[in-house]
Each structure stands twice: as structure tokens, then as C-alpha cells.
Amino acid sequence: MPAVAAAAAEPRRTWLGLWAAMAALVPFTAGYVWILNHFYRHGAYLQDSGLLAYLLTNGDPSLPIPQSLGGASFYEFHISPIFTVFALTAGRLIGSPPHAFAAFMGLSQAMAALAVFWALAGPVRMRPVAAAGLATIFACSGLVIAILRFPHQELFLAAAIMLFLVAFHQRRYGLAAAMMLIALLTREDGGFHIAGLLATVIVARRVLGMRRPDEPAMAWFLAAALLASIAALAIQRVLFPEASSFARIYAGVPAFAHLGWAEVAQRLAGWSIFRAYAVLPMLVAIAWALTKRRPYLLAGYVSVVPWLALQLCALSPLPATLSGYYAFPLLFAGFWTLLGALGDEPKADPLLRREIAIGFGLVLAASFVMLPAQQNPNKTGLIESLAPPPGPAQQRRIEQAAAMIAAQRAKLGNLVVDDGTVSLSLDRFGPQETFYPGTHRRIDTVVFFPGAFRMPEVTAAIAHNGLALRYAISGTPIRIASNRALDLPGVVHLP
């Protein structure tokens, strides 16, 4: 009989594997295509996507920042050895920084989809096709789109935490430990997010009278995560005593002198309108919990309240407005509603399964509200971001064009190059050649992606320096404005 049961279960495992692969493949492809368009069509952001793509292929364990950005080490800003791990494995095989970053971001979305699929097809017992559909939507939801529009490694961190949560829920402690390690390697605060959620879950269980045999293991994971993040911050402080991302981004000097009640109220009002894709899913989850009397499903959202409070008080406008990737903890908070809705039940019965499908579906739907208000530096639409990217031959021409500009700098006079162009060839340009708004020195030539996020400042610099001659580099979107008659390979004069 055991042999018969195992044989009968084999086709189901095969179908589950196929649907899981489908759930992961669609968002992976979407993320990969999005990033390729970001680099080769619209222009990358040098200090963000451009730098991260460089780190994912550099392989130096010290995570050096290239001279085009002033040198130093990325560890001054974040403890993220995951970049070295990726560079020495997948990055070596991929080679190209834009493709490495595209694979990294696509993998982040695929991991998020797999976590949702596992929870839905496993303990929730949803049909694989429905589980794959919801998993795909989650991995392409409004919060994910917000991160893709300002791509960062925080999406990878959120996905690793989600896989940790579902692995722990299923008592796959070895896999849970591996996912926690990945989260810890991605950013120094990964352990704080895990510890905060686990602590919230333990307290919620005490208050609700829920006791489970996994709590000793949960306590061990909580302690390990907390100690790991404390150690990471301590190491960073010792190695870089003058650097403080917390003071630069959040506190300011003197601490929080920038804050007032009117400012806080204005920020909250802005969140409620312009960040509805982040806030509204939480409100839907609260309504679900109150309607069905399932407060446990809110543990994820409760655990991120300190993070949201920190963003609300931030000095920098990006976290203060909850822009881009700064809302990433709301991803695993929303994911927790799947596991929290189960409560004490190891598996969902048909009524609970239907409730979870409806509740989680509404949480997902709410994340697509107010997408046009997202931070979108390049002002690219969804359709053009997901359109087929330039082909391999054109990608090579674009990369060669950036290298050609660096090689021919002697003919270009005082040269400045925009983010998108430098991001394709970070090692070839110096800090004085990188375009920054407010550059006061005389400029003879500007190289740029038309329509990129610094285009207003580039246009002003072109006008201020009287760069009347316009050129294109054949087969690429890159343009040149100069006061010199240029005779360079592949460069054509524009009327």
C-alpha cells in the first residue's frame, strides 16, 4: 500500500513542479526584460542600478566602488556580501553587468513567486493553477513595480524572508536557515526584520492563546537573526567609524531637528494618496482580520510598524515619501496574511481556502492602486518597460559606444557623461567626467540617454555651455551635444 500511495502521488508532484516553474518563470522574465530596457533603452541610475550591476560582476570581496563614483567600499553603506557570492558564481557565468543585475532582480521576483506558490499549494491547499496565478500576480504587484522602477537589492531581501517564513511554517528548518542566511547576506538589517516578525508572532500567540511546538525553534531563529544584524552593524561601525547611513538618511544632525508635527501630518497625507499601492493593501488586510476575526494574520504588518515610523521621520525625501524600494517590508508583511490566516490549522478546509483566496486576492488588487504616482525617475510606462529589449547585437553596440567615448575623450574636450552611459562602463570614466547637476566647470561635450531622469539638468547644461552641435551614435539611443565638429567611429551629425 505505501508503494501504491507513493506511485499515485508522483504525478501530483510533477504537476506541482511544473506549475511552480511557471509561477517563477513569468516574473523572472518580466524582471529580466525590465532591467535590460532600463540599461539599454532608458538609461540606468549610476549610484543605484549602475553600481549594483557593477558589484554583481566585480567579485572583489571588499566590494570596491569604482573611481567614477569616487572610490571607497560599498560596505560603508550596506553590509551586503551577497554581491560577492553572486559575482563569484552566477556573475562569472553571465559576465555582463546589466545582464547580471537583470538576472538578480528576476531571481528576486521568482523567489517571491515561489514563496507564495508554496504557501497556497501547500498548507492553503489551493489548486496549482490558481496558486500559480496568484503567485505570479504577487511577484509583479504594485510594490514590486515600485522597486523595479528604482531597482535595488531590497526585493531580494524581501523574497528571501518570505521563503524563510514559509519554510519555517512547514518545519523545513534546514531550508529556513538557508533562506535566513541569504537574507542576512543581502543587507545588514535583514536579521532585524526577521527577528521583529518572529517576536510579533510569539507575542500574538501568547495573547491569542495559541501554542505550537515550533516555538523553541522560533526563539532560536529570532536570537540568531537579531545577533547577526547587531554584529553586522558593529563591524561596519568599527571599519568605517566616520560613515553613518542612519545619520545621513534618517536622523540628520542634530538628530531629527528637521521634524515637526505639521511635517509628519503632511507625510502621512502623502502616503495615503500617492503611496496607496503600499498602504491600501494593509488597510484591506485589517478589514479582513476584523471581519473574520483573524488578528493573527496582521502580525506581519504589526512587525513593520517600527520601520514605517522610521521612514516617516527620515531626513532624506525618498524614505520620507516611502518611495521606490523603501516600502519593501510591506511585501513580506502582506505575504504573512497567507500563513497567519491559517491560525492553528495546519491545512485549510474548503471554507478557509475560499476566504484566503478572496482576502489575499483583495490585498493584491489593492497594490495596483495609484501606480502612476510611484517614483519613476525615467518616467517610463509599464508597456515600454516590458517591451522586447534591444537584441544582443544592439546591446553590444551600446556597450561599445560607451567604451568608444572613453577611448576618444581626447577629442571631446571637457567631457561629462550621464548616468546611463557611465553605468555601461564604470571603470572607464573618472569622477570629473560623471555628470552631476550644478557642474560649474566649462563643458565641451555631453553624452547622454535622451529622456533619462537627469535630462532636464543635462538640457540646462547644454544650453548654458552653448553646445549647438548634436550627434547620434549609430544603432544606439546615445546622443552627444558638443561645441566641436566630431569625427568619431559610428557618430553621425544630427540636423
Q: How confident is the model at residue 162 (pLDDT cuts 50, 70, 90)?
A: very high
Beta bridge partners of 482: 445, 469
Distances (CA, A) of 50 to 59, 359, 380: 16, 38, 17
491-494 sheet: strands from edge to edge: 415-417, 445-448, 479-482, 469-473, 491-494
* CA diameter of the chain: 85
Range 199-221 average pLDDT: 92
Residues in contact with 420: Cβ distance below 8 Å, sequence separation at least 6, in sequence order: 39, 42, 43, 44, 46, 50, 448, 449, 452, 478
- Whether 13 has a pLDDT exceeding 90, the answer reads no
Q: 411 phi and psi, to 5 degrees?
A: -90, -5
- Note the pLDDT tens digit of each residue in 261-290: 999 999 999 999 999 999 999 999 999 999
- Note the pLDDT tens digit of each residue in 57-107: 998 999 999 988 888 899 999 999 999 999 999 888 888 999 999 999 999
- Whether 1 has a pLDDT exceeding 60, the answer reads no
| Residues 420 and 448 sit within 8 Å (Cβ to Cβ) | yes
- Whether 443 has a pLDDT exceeding 50, the answer reads yes
Instruction: Count CA atoms closer than 13 A to 115's CA, side-chain side.
Output: 34
Q: How confident is the model at residue 4 (pLDDT cuts 50, 70, 90)?
A: very low
The grid cell for 17 is 513542479
Range 343-362 average pLDDT: 92
The grid cell for 329 is 517590508
Output 383 or 212, whichever has higher pLDDT: 383
The grid cell for 249 is 538618511
Q: 372 phi and psi, to 5 degrees?
A: -60, -20
Q: How confident is the model at residue 6 (pLDDT cuts 50, 70, 90)?
A: very low
Beta bridge partners of 206: none
Range 184-196 average pLDDT: 97
CA distance 118 to 132: 9
- Note the pLDDT tens digit of each residue in 227-236: 999 999 999 9
Neighbouring C-beta atoms of residue 127, cutoff 10 Å: 13
| Residues 461 and 444 sit within 8 Å (Cβ to Cβ) | no
- Whether 442 has a pLDDT exceeding 60, the answer reads yes
Q: How confident is the model at residue 301 (pLDDT cuts 50, 70, 90)?
A: very high
Region at 168 (left for phi over 0; alpha for psi -120 to 50; beta for the rest): alpha
Q: Which pLDDT score, from 0 to 100, does residue 56 have?
A: 96
Which residue reads 517563477 in cell numbers? Answer: 24
Which residue reads 533562506 in cell numbers? Answer: 179
Q: How confident is the model at residue 344 (pLDDT cuts 50, 70, 90)?
A: confident
Q: Which pLDDT score, from 0 to 100, does residue 8 have?
A: 46
Nearest to 302 by CA among 260, 275, 328, 330: 330
Torsion of CA 400, 402, 404, 409, to 10 degrees: -170
| Residues 196 and 308 sit within 8 Å (Cβ to Cβ) | no
Q: Which pLDDT score, from 0 to 100, does residue 377 have?
A: 92
Average model confidence (pLDDT) across the chain: 93
Instruction: Count CA atoms closer than 13 A to 111's CA, side-chain side.
Output: 25
Range 430-436 average pLDDT: 87
Range 16-31 average pLDDT: 95
Q: 174 phi and psi, to 5 degrees?
A: -65, -45
Q: How confident is the model at residue 244 (pLDDT cuts 50, 70, 90)?
A: confident
Q: Which pLDDT score, from 0 to 100, does residue 213 have?
A: 85
Q: What percent of the chain has pLDDT over 70?
A: 97
CA distance 451 to 472: 14
For residue 376, how far is the Cα from the chain centroid? 14
Torsion of CA 294, 298, 302, 304, to 10 degrees: 170
Output 437 or 421, whichever has higher pLDDT: 421
- Whether 439 has a pLDDT exceeding 70, the answer reads no
Q: 150 phi and psi, to 5 degrees?
A: -140, 70
Nearest to 400 by CA among 485, 478, 484: 478
Which residue reads 525618498 in cell numbers? Answer: 318
CA distance 108 to 156: 4
Q: Which segment of 20-29, 157-166, 452-461 scores lowest on mean pLDDT? A: 452-461
Q: Which pLDDT score, from 0 to 100, does residue 252 have?
A: 85
- Whether 5 has a pLDDT exceeding 60, the answer reads no
Q: 491 phi and psi, to 5 degrees?
A: -95, 125
- Note the pLDDT tens digit of each residue in 469-488: 999 999 999 999 999 999 99
Residues in contact with 452: Cβ distance below 8 Å, sequence separation at least 6, in sequence order: 42, 43, 378, 418, 419, 420, 458
